[in-house]
Amino acid sequence: MFSIGRTCLRGIYSCQWNSQNRRPNVFGLLHLVIREPLNLHWLHKVFLFLGLFTVALGTAGFCIKWEEEWKTVYMSFQATAPFLQLGAVVALTLISWLVFQSYHGAKTAACKVFIMMTFLVVSAAVFLCPLAICSPCITNNLPPKPALVGHRGAPMMAPENTMMSFRKSMECDVVAFETDVQLSKDMKPFLMHDNGSSFLVRTTDVKDKFLGRDGDMNTNFTLQELQTLNAGEWFVRTDPFQSVSSLSKEEKMEANNQTVPSLSELLVMAKKHNVSLIFDLKNEKNSTGFHNSDSYYITETITKSGISPDKIWWLPPEYRHDVRNIAPGFKQVYHNEQDMNADGGSFLNMKYSSLNAHEISDLREKNVSVNLWVVNERWLFSLLWCSGASSVTTNACHILKNMSKPDWHLEPNIYMGIWISVDVISWLLMFGLFLWQRRRNHVFRQNTSERSVPLLPR
């Protein structure tokens, strides 16, 4: 098997091997294992350089274009750091015998000192890094599970912003529906996420139903016209979340026949099932005054519906004070802490990466409700659960509803016992490997010395 591995490596790299050269190569651990040098052809060096350049360029591009996503990377490390550290200890233990082999094979004392000092520094960093790990899931007190808010309903299980989608989200026991509201030509509020010209193209059959009008704005369609459009066929056809296969035949037929709902329809459902409502207004910035604004007509529609005012989580900031004057019972929800504090509010709605665990915990201690969007992954939901978030807006309520506890949660004393035990076991194994390598090297040199003694003449 050893010879097969050596032959494979030779074939893969197409290297020029020099059997007399035994110098270890820093960049070829596999070749160190089989004690063969890696003499790369110039073409391989070019490809290696291009690969490194591409990785560096990609990393730089990521940093510039998606700088905000580094917060998500940091959060992923918070969720995985304890396990990455344990994996690093295992990896360090496995490669330590190669390091000790190089140490005992070094010709000079300076080389031995360099090898051992480097290894000790790396080992200390790996062994002691749990002291710097700060994960909210390492805690004595696990907060309650965050409530779920259906983002456009349950868009993984039904066409977004349709009545079927909101019915599906109720199966997840959501505490609120999240949606997007616009006004039609006849000033009737309807539900649709996309806005501007071509706002109907992605999720309806407007190109087939109204020829030449697919680029029109929302103010060019009456509610009656909008409700003649099919708002579900696209979902079954494109399968945006690769979830259509999980639907029954009847559910697919229902999805295929969805239409554009009015806000009044959703208010009836929310009132009947005692579910709250939070929404974005897509065209509010175009308003010239409160009584001509989307906020005015939507507030009027909400008031006429008879839904309990405290079930409305009012998010749009443009005419907040005017809305409060005519509907003081609405819960005021804010995009940032500064506006909330200035207005004396107690409800935040922010992107999941906008607040760290300590900030969430501090806000909860001040009785501030914290809703974070959009949370679809189990690991992220677990992290925000441990952080103490009040609720999360999600596309995946059917997945998160089944979680009875975070993916992992450890008390600090238990985690400390785990990493210290693993570190000690690793250190003992490495110490044993060091002694074994020293003895093996001593025997090898002794045998070599005996073979090199010339035969005595008779």
Nearest to 157 by CA among 143, 147, 172: 172
Position 47 scores a pLDDT of 85
Same structural domain for residues 133 and 167?
Answer: no
DSSP calls for 151-219: ETS-TTTS-TTSHHHHHHHHTTT-SEEEEEEEE-TTS-EEE-S--STTTTTTTS-HHHHSTT-TT--GG
Same structural domain for residues 114 and 18?
Answer: no
Domain total of the chain: 3
Same structural domain for residues 185 and 41?
Answer: no
Position 275 scores a pLDDT of 98
Same structural domain for residues 211 and 268?
Answer: yes
Same structural domain for residues 224 and 367?
Answer: yes
Position 439 scores a pLDDT of 86
Same structural domain for residues 124 and 87?
Answer: yes
Measured CA to CA in angstroms, residue 221 lies from 197, 283, 296, 343, 374 at distances of 12, 15, 19, 37, 30
Range of the domain at 32: 1-65
Weakly modelled stretches of the chain, pLDDT under 50: 1-27, 34
Same structural domain for residues 156 and 263?
Answer: yes
Same structural domain for residues 258 and 289?
Answer: yes
In a domain, 290, yes or no: yes
Position 37 scores a pLDDT of 59
Q: For 118-142, how does the pLDDT look when each residue is reduced to its tens digit (9 = 90+)? A: 999 999 999 999 999 999 999 999 9
Same structural domain for residues 110 and 248?
Answer: no
Same structural domain for residues 380 and 340?
Answer: yes
The tokens of 380 are what? 């992220």
Last residue of a domain, one of 36, 65, 94: 65
Same structural domain for residues 299 and 433?
Answer: no
In a domain, 454, yes or no: no
The tokens of 100 are what? 């000790």
Same structural domain for residues 308 and 240?
Answer: yes
Beta strands in 307-422 (DSSP E): 312-314, 331-332, 347-351, 369-373, 391-394
Position 24 scores a pLDDT of 41
